[in-house]
Amino acid sequence: MKFKTSLLLGLLAAALSGTTLAAVTGKFAVTLPEKSHQGQGVAKFVELVKAKSGGEIDIKPYYGGALGDDVKVTSALQGGTIEFTVPQTSTLTGMVKPYEILDFPFLFANTQEADKVLDGPIGQKLMDLLPAHGLVGLAYWENGFFNATNSKHPIAKVEDFKGLKFRSIQAKITQETIKALGANPVPLAVPELYTALETRTIDGQGTPNAVIAALKLYEVQKYLSITQHTYGAFIPLASKKFWDKLTPQQQKIVKDAAVEARAYQRQVARDQAASAQKTMADKGLKVNEVAPEERARMRQAVQPVWDMFTPDVGADLVKEIEAEIKK
C-alpha cells in the first residue's frame, strides 16, 4: 500500500512540475560520425524537433553506421523498424529512377545551381514520388562536391583515372561514370572504405572533402584531386509507416525542423569542405586543382553516361533541370 501511495505521489509531483514523457519516439540512423556535416545536421534537426514539440517528439540519433549502411537502413524505414535516416539521394535510385538525374556527372557547376534545383519545384516533384515506396522526404541537405583521392598519382586529366580500382556505391550510374573516366568500379559501403584503402584492395575513391576528413581517409591515401565530378545531396527521410501515425501538427513540426536545419547543415558542409582540405594538406595529403579545360574534357568523357541514363529519368526532366540551371 505504501509503495502504491509513493508511486502515485511521485507521478503527481512529476505532473505538477511540468515533467512530461515524450509521446512519440524515433531512431535516426546516421552513416557518418557525429562531428561530420551529416551528423551535425541530424543533431540540429533532433534539437529543433524537441524544441518545437515541447519535448513531445524525442528522436535518438545513432551515428557512425551503428544501425547499418544506407541501403539496409532505408529498407528498415520502409518496413517501419527505423523511423529516420539521411542517405545520399543515390540510395533511392533503385526504387525511384528519376532520382538518378542528381547523380549525372558534372550536372552542377556550383552549390548555387544545386540549391536552386533541389529547393524548387523539381526537387519537390522528385520528393513526391517517395511515399509510394514507404518513405517521406523532408528536405535536401548537402553532402557536397565529390573529389577523387587515390594512392597512385595526382589526377590532373581524364587519362589519370585509367586503370585505377575506384570505390563505387551500388548505383549503376556511379559505376558507369567511373568506367567512362577509365577507372574500374568496386562497389563498397562506407563502413568498409577505410580498410579497403588501407589494404590496397582499391586504389581510390570519390567523396566530398568533409567525408574524406571525417572518415580519416587521408591516413590511407596520398593524393586529393579537386575533380568536382559529382554533386551529392543528402535527403532526410521518415518512414511512411511512422509518419502516418503522427498528427498533422506533428508532421508539420518534423518537416519544418528538417527545412530549418537545412541552412545550418549546408553551411557546416561548406565550411568543412574548405577547412578539411587545408587540414588534410597539413597532414601530408598532396592536393592538386584540376584546370577548367581538363574538367571540361572529363565532362566530355562522361557524355555517354548522360546518353545512357537520360531515357531512365526522362528527357523532359533533363531539359527541365538544364533550363532551371540556366535561369
Provide the pLDDT for residue 15.
Answer: 40
Which residue type is seen at 268? V
Residue 14 has pLDDT above 90, yes or no: no
Alpha-carbon separation of residue 136 from 151, 276, 307, 327 (angstroms)? 39, 32, 30, 29
> In this structure, are residues 144 and 88 in contact, taking their beta carbons and an 8 Å threshold?
no
Q: Which of 311, 302, 290, 298 is nearest to 175 (CA)?
A: 302
> In this structure, are residues 89 and 233 in contact, taking their beta carbons and an 8 Å threshold?
yes
Provide the pLDDT for residue 107.
Answer: 97
Residue 4 has pLDDT above 80, yes or no: no
Q: Are strands 286-289 and 141-150 parallel, antiparallel or unpaired?
A: unpaired
- How does residue 9 score in pLDDT terms, banded at 50, 70 and 90? very low
| Mean pLDDT within 6-10 | 40
- The x, y and z cell numbers of residue 175, run together, are 559505376
Residue 166 has pLDDT above 70, yes or no: yes
Residue 187 has pLDDT above 50, yes or no: yes
Strand, helix or coil for residue 312: helix
| Mean pLDDT within 4-17 | 40
Residue 16 has pLDDT above 60, yes or no: no
Architecture of domain 19-326: 3-Layer(aba) Sandwich (3.40)
Residue 96 has pLDDT above 60, yes or no: yes
* 251-297 pLDDT tens trace: 999 999 999 999 999 999 999 999 999 999 999 999 999 999 999 99
First vs last C-alpha separation in the chain: 74
| Mean pLDDT within 182-189 | 95
Provide the pLDDT for residue 169.
Answer: 82
State the pTM of this model: 0.85
CA 167 – CA 192 distance, rounded (Å): 10
* Phi, then psi, of 63 in degrees rounded to 5: -90, 170
Would you tell me how many other CB atoms lie within 10 Å of the CB of residue 175? Answer: 18
Provide the pLDDT for residue 152.
Answer: 97
Strand, helix or coil for residue 152: coil
Provide the pLDDT for residue 13.
Answer: 39
Residue 233 has pLDDT above 80, yes or no: yes
Residue 17 has pLDDT above 90, yes or no: no
> In this structure, are residues 128 and 136 in contact, taking their beta carbons and an 8 Å threshold?
no
| Mean pLDDT within 113-137 | 97
Provide the pLDDT for residue 21.
Answer: 58
Residue 18 has pLDDT above 80, yes or no: no
